[in-house]
């Protein structure tokens, strides 16, 4: 701990987290967040369950500086205080809803059989009920683990997103949240901390998808891309389509066909276009890959280099 020029305490991240290890303090932050405006001491105190004003004052003072600002209008959340309340209310910290695998009225992109969705650990996971799916391994922010048969990928959705939604609505919400996350990733910005994201491209040299998934790379596509934030621990991965999702020509292709590529009713279709493309490796050194996206009876081909830049 040290002091800055204004006398406010500067806490290390460990100290900052330790400050939150108390129900009353989290309650104070939540009350300030729900108020949506600065609150005077007595008003803030009245909104909490703490009777003793000395106790209340003690905990409030522990929050001032890092999590709460004291202004002339009253106490208000700092940026970091807001982040804490957002995390608490998203269910990221404590809630553990669950959704068993449930069939939704939507066909698998590869075989047309119905798909199933499930929610665990902050993600919606999709599975085909008949074919091997899209990936044999699940990329869950680490090195990857063997996926259940039929795995079609996952979309991030905080626990709060599960509440009051049917499985179909939940999938739609996850597609919107997930697509927005991928747009940031594709543009090189970490969706969690806004740090710089690095990409790594891998090519399966012995690709064979006769049985649905390649035994060698455990995927339908020979070219894979992984993203890693240079600041926080965020990681993600998938096909190279993820890397070109913000390409102007691809956005225009969707819009020209009447599809809203960000948040419309057609997110299922938009997702299908992003994921189910043809891939042709034109050369390995230097790497040149042609991706062809399909929509209605039309198609769009993009040639990418080893950095996933679209070539003219």
Residues at the contact surface with Zn ion, assessed by CB under 5 A? 108, 110-111, 113, 128, 131, 190, 192-193, 195, 204, 207, 214, 216-217, 229, 231-232, 234
Peptide bond preceding 286 in cis form (omega within 30 of 0): yes
* 38 to 142, 145, 266: CA distances (angstroms): 41, 47, 41
| Tokens encoding 207 | 């690709």
Shortest reach from residue 134's CB to Zn ion, in Å = 9
Alpha carbon 245 to its chain centroid, in Å, reads: 15
Query: Rounded distance, CA 213 to CA 163, Å?
Result: 34
209 in Cβ contact with 226 (< 8 Å): no
Closer CB to Zn ion, 84 or 128, in the complex? 128
Shortest reach from residue 203's CB to Zn ion, in Å = 9
Closer CB to Zn ion, 28 or 223, in the complex? 223
Closer CB to Zn ion, 39 or 124, in the complex? 124
Shortest reach from residue 132's CB to Zn ion, in Å = 8
Shortest reach from residue 211's CB to Zn ion, in Å = 11
Closer CB to Zn ion, 31 or 217, in the complex? 217
Closer CB to Zn ion, 108 or 124, in the complex? 108
Query: Rounded distance, CA 219 to CA 211, Å?
Result: 11
Closer CB to Zn ion, 229 or 300, in the complex? 229
Shortest reach from residue 290's CB to Zn ion, in Å = 17
Shortest reach from residue 103's CB to Zn ion, in Å = 13
Closer CB to Zn ion, 68 or 155, in the complex? 155
Shortest reach from residue 201's CB to Zn ion, in Å = 14
Closer CB to Zn ion, 110 or 259, in the complex? 110
Shortest reach from residue 269's CB to Zn ion, in Å = 17
Beta bridge partners of 301: 292
44 in Cβ contact with 31 (< 8 Å): yes
């Amino acid at each position: 701990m040290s002091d800055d020029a204004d006398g406010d305490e500067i806490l290390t991240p460990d100290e900052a987290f330790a400050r939150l290890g108390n129900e009353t303090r989290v309650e104070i932050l939540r009350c300030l967040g729900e108020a949506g405006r600065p609150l005077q001491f007595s008003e803030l105190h009245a909104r909490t369950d703490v009777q003793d004003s000395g106790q209340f004052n003690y905990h409030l003072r522990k929050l001032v500086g890092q999590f709460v600002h004291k202004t002339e209008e009253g106490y208000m959340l700092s940026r970091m205080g807001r982040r804490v309340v957002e995390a608490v209310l998203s269910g990221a910290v404590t809630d553990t809803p669950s959704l068993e695998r449930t069939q939704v009225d939507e066909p698998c992109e590869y075989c047309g059989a119905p798909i199933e969705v499930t929610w665990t650990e902050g993600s919606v996971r999709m599975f085909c009920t008949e074919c091997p799916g899209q990936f044999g391994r699940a990329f869950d922010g680490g090195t990857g683990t063997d996926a259940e048969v039929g795995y079609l990928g996952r979309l991030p959705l905080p626990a709060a997103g599960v509440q009051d939604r049917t499985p179909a609505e939940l999938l739609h919400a996850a597609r919107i949240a997930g697509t927005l996350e991928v747009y940031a990733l594709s543009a090189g910005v970490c969706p969690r901390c806004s740090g710089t994201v690095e990409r790594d491209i891998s090519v399966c040299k012995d690709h064979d998808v006769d049985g649905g998934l390649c035994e060698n790379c455990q995927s339908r596509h020979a070219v894979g891309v992984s993203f890693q934030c240079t600041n926080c621990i965020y990681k993600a991965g998938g096909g190279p389509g993820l890397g070109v999702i913000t390409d102007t020509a691809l956005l225009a292709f969707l819009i020209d066909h009447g599809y809203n590529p960000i948040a419309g009713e057609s997110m299922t279709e938009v997702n299908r276009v992003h994921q189910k493309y043809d891939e042709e490796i034109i050369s390995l050194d230097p790497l040149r890959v042609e991706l062809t996206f399909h929509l209605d009876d039309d198609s769009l081909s993009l040639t990418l280099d080893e950095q996933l830049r679209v070539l003219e």
